[in-house]
A and B are shown apart, each in its own frame.
Chain A
Amino acid sequence: MRRDRWWVQPALIVAALTVFGIYSIVRAILSKYYAITAGGAHLQSPFFSPDLPGIFSFKTGLPWAFLVLWAPLGMRSTCYYYRKSYYRSFFLAPPSCAVAGAARRRYTGETKLPLVLNNLHRFFFYLAVLVVAFLWYDAIRGFFYHGSFGIGLGNAIMLINVLCLSAFTFGCNSWRHIIGGKLNCFSCSSAARTRHGLWQKFSILNGHHQFWAWISMFTVGLTDLYIWLASSGVFTDPHHVF
Chain B
Amino acid sequence: MSETLTAGGTRKLQIWRGDLTSGELVDYELETEPGMVVLDAVLEIQRSQAPDLAVRWNCKAAKCGSCSAEVNGRPRLMCKTRLDHLPADQPITVEPLRAFPLIRDLVTDVSWNYEVNKKIPPFTPREDLPEGDFLIDQADTDRMSEFRKCIECFMCQDVCHILRDHRLHDRYYGPRFMVRMASLDMHPLDGLDRIDQIADDGGIGLCNITKCCTEVCPEGIHITDNAIIPLKERVVDARYDPLLKILGRNRRRPGKKKPAV
Contact = CB atoms under 8 A, between A and B. Distances in A.
A3 B254 CA distance: 51
Query: How many residues of B sit at the interface, in one of the four size bands?
Result: 35 or more
Contacts, number: 122
Contacts of B72: 2-4
B108 interface: no
A91 B175 CA distance: 21
Interface string A82-103: 0110011000011001111100
A83 B209 CA distance: 7
B206 A119 contact: no
B156 to A, nearest CB: 10
B93 A173 contact: no
Interface stretch (A37-45, A147-155, A174-182): A174-182
Interface of A: 1-4, 80, 83-84, 87-88, 93-94, 97-101, 104, 107-111, 115-116, 119-122, 173-174, 177, 181-182, 184-188, 193, 196, 206-207
Nearest to A110: B205
Contact of A182 (B158, B187, B234): B234
B206 A110 contact: yes
27 contacts: A3-B73, A83-B209, A88-B210, A93-B161, A94-B165, A98-B70, A99-B73, A104-B166, A108-B206, A109-B162, A109-B203, A109-B208, A110-B206, A119-B235, A119-B239, A122-B236, A173-B225, A174-B236, A177-B229, A182-B237, A184-B188, A185-B137, A185-B188, A186-B137, A186-B143, A187-B140, A206-B225
Nearest to B185: A184
Interface in B233-261: 233-237, 239-241, 255
Interface in B70-105: 70, 72-75, 90, 93
A116 B207 CA distance: 11
Contact of B233 (A93, A107, A177, A193): A177
Given A2-B74, A3-B72, A80 B209 contact: yes
B30 interface: no
Contact of A109 (B74, B186, B205, B240): B205
B216 interface: yes
A111 B208 contact: no
Contacts of B232: 119
B207 A110 contact: yes
Nearest to B229: A173
Contacts of A122: 233, 236, 241
B139 A186 contact: yes
Contacts of B207: 109-110
A91 B184 CA distance: 33
Given A109-B203, A109-B206, A173-B225, 13 more contacts: A1-B73, A3-B93, A83-B208, A83-B209, A97-B216, A107-B165, A111-B206, A119-B235, A177-B230, A182-B234, A185-B137, A186-B140, A193-B139
B67 interface: no
A188 B161 contact: no
A3 B234 CA distance: 39
A194 to B, nearest CB: 12
Contacts of B190: 184
Given A110-B206, A110-B208, A98 B140 contact: no
Nearest to B237: A182
A206 B237 CA distance: 20
Pairs A-B, 5 closest by C-beta atoms: A2-B73, A187-B137, A109-B206, A97-B212, A177-B233
Contacts of A173: 225, 229-230, 233
A122 B236 CA distance: 9
Interface-central residue, A108, A184, A196, by most chain B CB under 10 Å: A184
Contact of B229 (A4, A80, A111, A184): A80
